[in-house]
Amino acid sequence: MYNPLLHKKPYGASVMNQETRITFPVDNSLGIKRVFVVLRQVFGEGGEVAGESLRYELPLSHSENGQDVFVGSFALSAWGIWQYRFEGEFANGDLAFFGRGLDGTAIRGDWLPEWQLTVTKRDYKTPNWAKRGVTYQIFADRFCKVGDKPFTKRGRLHADWYERPDIAEDGRDYRADDFFGGNIEGIISKLDYLQSLGVSLIYLSPVFESCSNHRYDTGDYLKIDPLLGTEEEFGNLVKRAGEKGIKIMLDGVFNHTGSDSKYFNKEGTYPDLGAYQSKQSPYFDWYYFTKYPDEYACWWGSTVVPTVNKSAQGFCDLVLGENGVIDKWSKAGVKGWRLDVVDELPIDFTNKLCSRIKSEGEDMLVVGEVWEDASIKIAYSEWRPYFMGEQLDS
């Protein structure tokens, strides 16, 4: 029976107006005389689609090993997500329906799941180096420590690398403000080990200045966190890793900043006039205040990570512009970005962000954090076209 791994070319996604060839073998004892593939579009331009079904006949090609083999092709002129099934027609005109079984192959029956066909706007340009590589994720504070960096943060630095991390107790909010001091020099010291594992890409947890150990509450997008090291040391990591055939991918946290950041500056840590401190701040329109200054939109109700207005020109300039985030760290040799909570980003901003990253070269990789099937992801009532050829590689 039909198995898309064996009987559909190309396997996986197709490109708009590109021919898709289907082979449908069926036991000739069933007496099926004609076979049709029936397609319907479910997502496309504008989101969800409820269009009419398309029906293409697969002519009988030949018979072998007790099977009649029907082969045909079609090309779809609309990009998006399509679903398809098969119909077999008997000599008397009655129909047999075939859908997707649990193992992905065809079974006969009514109201069965259908197969998915992703049709992109254009060919992907996913970097060849990433297709068969090995990615190793490093949580920078806990991977390896070489030497000591000055500790100037709130919270505490563990004296013993093997101590238990702090946890929230008795209803106290967890602040992630205990550190072990893992650093860039520590990562460099392990490059031979990583190379021995066959690693071709290091995905770093956030490395920009922050008040937390996880650093998802960015304080300054243009500075390496001093507890991790210096910009020079980061450049050395990229260089030394590259000499061993290992590329570096950064974690891009663009849905929110930290409340303790130069942009929001709730704690007054930075000399910059933050949005929390004054409506005259150049960063004021970056945030959504409902009752100034203490009530504002934030990620999943966590007030330490206020949500950013991705249409604010100043924010867009910082991330996308000359000498901005993508520009600076691409010049430092970074070859990929993992986009944190990408389904929180507006489609238009995601398009611009991915386009900006890809403008640095076809060897740039863009990966998004999506917790469900990213090809059919709906966030805030919108289908997200991640795999239509303009956004994510994976």
In whole angstroms, give the CA distance from residue 340 to residue 369. Answer: 5
99 and 232 inside one domain: no
- Whether residue 219 contacts residue 308, with contact meaning beta carbons closer than 8 Å, is answered with no
Residues designated as active site: 340, 369
Would residue 58 count as lying in a domain? yes
pTM (predicted TM-score): 0.93
Residue 111 burial class via C-beta count within 10 angstroms: exposed 0-12, middle 13-18, buried 19 and up: exposed
212 and 97 inside one domain: no
Query: Which secondary-structure segment (H or E) carries 108?
Result: strand 106-108
| CA R_g for the chain | 26
The pLDDT, as a whole number, for residue 170 is: 60
Q: How many CB atoms lie within 10 A of CB 94?
A: 8
The pLDDT, as a whole number, for residue 173 is: 67
146 and 206 inside one domain: yes
Residue 323 burial class via C-beta count within 10 angstroms: exposed 0-12, middle 13-18, buried 19 and up: exposed
Within 8 A by CB and 6+ apart from 300, the residues are none
Would residue 20 count as lying in a domain? yes
In whole angstroms, give the CA distance from residue 320 to residue 355. Answer: 10
Would residue 295 count as lying in a domain? no
Q: How many domains does the chain have?
A: 2
CATH code where residue 111 lies: 2.60.40.10
Would residue 290 count as lying in a domain? no
For residue 243, give Cα distances in angstroms to 195, 276, 279, 384.
10, 44, 48, 37
Last residue of a domain, one of 120, 151, 186: 120
Would residue 68 count as lying in a domain? yes
Query: Which secondary-structure segment (H or E) carries 353?
Result: helix 347-358
133 and 21 inside one domain: no
Residue type, 52: E
Concatenating the DSSP letter of every residue in 282-301 gives TTGGGB-EEETTTEE-BGGG
CATH code where residue 181 lies: 3.20.20.80
97 and 134 inside one domain: no
- Whether residue 357 contacts residue 390, with contact meaning beta carbons closer than 8 Å, is answered with no
Could you list the pLDDT tens digit for every one of the 394 residues in the chain? 999 999 999 999 999 999 999 999 999 999 999 999 999 999 998 898 887 899 999 999 999 999 999 999 999 999 999 999 999 999 999 999 999 999 999 999 999 999 999 999 987 778 999 998 999 999 999 999 999 999 999 999 999 999 999 887 765 667 899 999 999 999 999 999 999 999 999 999 999 999 999 999 999 999 999 999 999 999 999 999 999 999 999 999 999 999 999 999 999 999 999 999 999 999 999 999 999 999 999 999 999 999 999 999 999 999 999 999 999 999 999 999 999 999 999 999 999 999 999 999 999 999 999 999 999 999 999 999 999 999 999 9
The pLDDT, as a whole number, for residue 122 is: 81
* Structural domain harbouring 8: 4-120
